[in-house]
A and B are shown apart, each in its own frame.
Chain A
Amino acid sequence: MSPALLLDGTTTVGDLDLRVTLEVMPGELVAVVGPNGAGKTTLLRLLAGLVRLDAGHLDLGDRTVDDGTDRGFVPAHLRRMGWVPQDRLLFDHLTVAANVGFSPRATTDRVASLLTALHLEDLADRRPPECSGGQAQRVAVARALAADPDLLLLDEPSTALDLASRHRIHALLADRDRRPTTLLVTHDSSEVADLADRVVEMTAGRITGTPPL
């Protein structure tokens, strides 16, 4: 079986010199841990197509989406990703339902199913500023999953969440049939223990270890 994600490359963003080799198999949930400033978020942005490689290659499935050249770079909207950024970044001018259904790949059934799974049906007509932090985080996760991504990128999805919201998000992510291959950036060791198939540790832009679960 070929990997869902194969990265061997370098890039420089500000002061950070990212030099990463990473392989993730289909269906795997890999937790990325490490101190602040290690490059975890930059790694997710690189995979999402928001940061480019300076050299090396990034393959998603059978396709190379970045080889460090302009010609070989596949932009974010053509990569089939789902990204949940650390600060959620919901579209405040759209309703919760419109946020979740934003992706052109989001089908009505999929949106309805995610709204139900994350207990967001009653909030469907509200706008994000009217939601609590936990509700907004669930909207962000639902929005990313509704895009039917090949790779889900989660940047600290449970930070400062109430227990109920955390439980609902974890229940969805633990369901291998409902979530795609996933990279989860987290500082939360219990989240790693609950969800991850494997852990990689980053320090100063490098993957420096694979701590046991």
Chain B
Amino acid sequence: MTGQLRAPRSVLVVATLTVAFLALPVLALLQRAPWSGLVDLLRRREVVDALGVSLLVSMVAAGIVLVLGTPLAWVLARVDVPFRRLVRALVILPMVLPPVVGGTALLFALGRRGLVGQWLERWFDLTLPFTTAGAVVAATFVALPFFVITVEGALRTSGDDLEQVASTLGADPLTVLRRITLPRLLPAMGAGLALAWARALGEFGATITFAGNLPGRTRTLPLATFQALESDPEAAVALSLVLLVVSLAVLLPTRHRWLPTQ
């Protein structure tokens, strides 16, 4: 058994300050929370509406992420697609792109006069900007990479040896996917979905740019928090607490993947 390394004092000091830097905003939030009136604040119409919109948008987005992201992750991990590196870069782009830029790009792509949006409106009478559906599109756009890279990473790590054995036993590709690949992938899919959902729930920039800030339709919890910060800071704190609790609730069950135990 190897002993623990003895850290140099200077490294310990920097590490401690870094933890303090990360913990300080959370502590400040808890310190400013209007604990006595919290329940009443959370019962307010605008809070309930924002929570409802947030849950609806983030859950529908998570569902779309699951349906679209699983085949994409599988193809990226298993199929020798041309320009794979370019495709992967495109998939990851929304993670590093400022969300406002993502929202602007969505507007030019799917807006009423956008590249594809004009045809959606003309052919299907479908308008996405400043609608709840638009908020779902924005949330899906920013959340998808979190799911895809998690699942693709798991597929790459696990290799395809078991799939090969299954095929030699007479299982066709769809059976192999259903009976071997997907069941073994469930933990990674769960972790990826939790991260994607959390990202969708916290989405701000792309949503406000593409879907606006319409109460009861596109005003999600982050937008309501930002709005309340100017007029009602206590409500903003209460809304922030809701987001904090939800984020922790998502992070803790996935701790084995993201928080090693040692």
The contact of B168 among A82, A92, A93, by CB within 8 Å, is A82
Decide: B171 and A93 in contact? CB cutoff 8 A.
no
- Looking across the interface, which residue of chain B has its beta carbon closest to that of A81? B168
Assess whether A104 is interfacial by the CB under 8 Å rule.
yes
Q: Which residues of A contact B166 (CB under 8 A)?
A: 91, 102
The contact of B167 among A77, A105, A144, by CB within 8 Å, is A77
Decide: A79 and B168 in contact? CB cutoff 8 A.
yes
Decide: A102 and B162 in contact? CB cutoff 8 A.
no
Give the complex CA separation of A103 and B175 in angstroms: 10
**Closest Cβ of chain A: how far from B208's Cβ, in Å?**
43
Assess whether B172 is interfacial by the CB under 8 Å rule.
yes
Q: Which residues of A contact B3 (CB under 8 A)?
A: none
The contact of A83 among B168, B172, B176, B183, by CB within 8 Å, is B168
Interface set, chain B 125-179, CB cutoff 8 A to A = 161-162, 164-173, 175-176, 179
Decide: B184 and A50 in contact? CB cutoff 8 A.
no
Assess whether A6 is interfacial by the CB under 8 Å rule.
no
Interface set, chain A 100-148, CB cutoff 8 A to B = 102-105, 143-144, 147
Decide: A89 and B170 in contact? CB cutoff 8 A.
no
Interface set, chain A 42-63, CB cutoff 8 A to B = 48-50
Assess whether A161 is interfacial by the CB under 8 Å rule.
no
Decide: A50 and B169 in contact? CB cutoff 8 A.
no
Assess whether B180 is interfacial by the CB under 8 Å rule.
yes
- Looking across the interface, which residue of chain A has its beta carbon closest to that of B161? A89
Q: Which residues of A contact B170 (CB under 8 A)?
A: 77-78, 80, 103-105, 147
**Closest Cβ of chain B: how far from A114's Cβ, in Å?**
13
Give the complex CA separation of A78 and B168 in angstroms: 8
- Looking across the interface, which residue of chain B has its beta carbon closest to that of A77? B167
Q: Which of B161, B169, B171 has the most CB of A within 10 A?
A: B169
**Closest Cβ of chain A: how far from B182's Cβ, in Å?**
10
Assess whether A75 is interfacial by the CB under 8 Å rule.
yes
Interface residue tally for chain A (C-beta within 8 Å):
24
The contact of A91 among B162, B168, B173, by CB within 8 Å, is B162
Assess whether A9 is interfacial by the CB under 8 Å rule.
no
Q: Which residues of B contact A20 (CB under 8 A)?
A: none
- Looking across the interface, which residue of chain A has its beta carbon closest to that of B160? A50
Assess whether A39 is interfacial by the CB under 8 Å rule.
no
- Looking across the interface, which residue of chain A has its beta carbon closest to that of B171? A77
Assess whether A85 is interfacial by the CB under 8 Å rule.
yes
Decide: B165 and A83 in contact? CB cutoff 8 A.
yes
**Closest Cβ of chain A: how far from B21's Cβ, in Å?**
42
Q: Which of B161, B168, B173, B175 has the most CB of A within 10 A?
A: B168
Give the complex CA separation of A70 and B165 in angstroms: 21
**Closest Cβ of chain B: how far from A90's Cβ, in Å?**
8
Q: Which residues of B contact A104 (CB under 8 A)?
A: 170-171, 175
Decide: A77 and B162 in contact? CB cutoff 8 A.
no
Decide: B167 and A75 in contact? CB cutoff 8 A.
yes
Q: Which residues of A contact B161 (CB under 8 A)?
A: 85, 89
**A residues neighboring B (CB under 8 Å):** 48-50, 75-83, 85, 89, 91-93, 102-105, 143-144, 147
What would be 29 A-B contacts, judged by CB atoms less than 8 Å apart?
A50-B164, A50-B167, A50-B168, A76-B167, A76-B168, A77-B168, A77-B169, A77-B170, A77-B176, A78-B170, A79-B168, A80-B170, A82-B168, A83-B168, A85-B161, A89-B162, A91-B165, A93-B183, A93-B184, A102-B171, A103-B169, A103-B171, A104-B170, A104-B171, A104-B175, A105-B170, A144-B169, A147-B168, A147-B169
**B residues neighboring A (CB under 8 Å):** 161-162, 164-173, 175-176, 179-180, 183-184
Closest 7 CB pairs of A and B: A103-B169, A76-B167, A83-B168, A77-B167, A147-B169, A89-B165, A76-B168
Q: A76-B164, A77-B168, A82-B169 known; 18 other A-B pairs, CB under 8 Å?
A: A48-B168, A49-B168, A50-B167, A75-B167, A76-B167, A77-B167, A77-B176, A78-B170, A81-B169, A83-B168, A89-B165, A91-B162, A91-B166, A91-B180, A103-B169, A103-B170, A104-B170, A104-B175
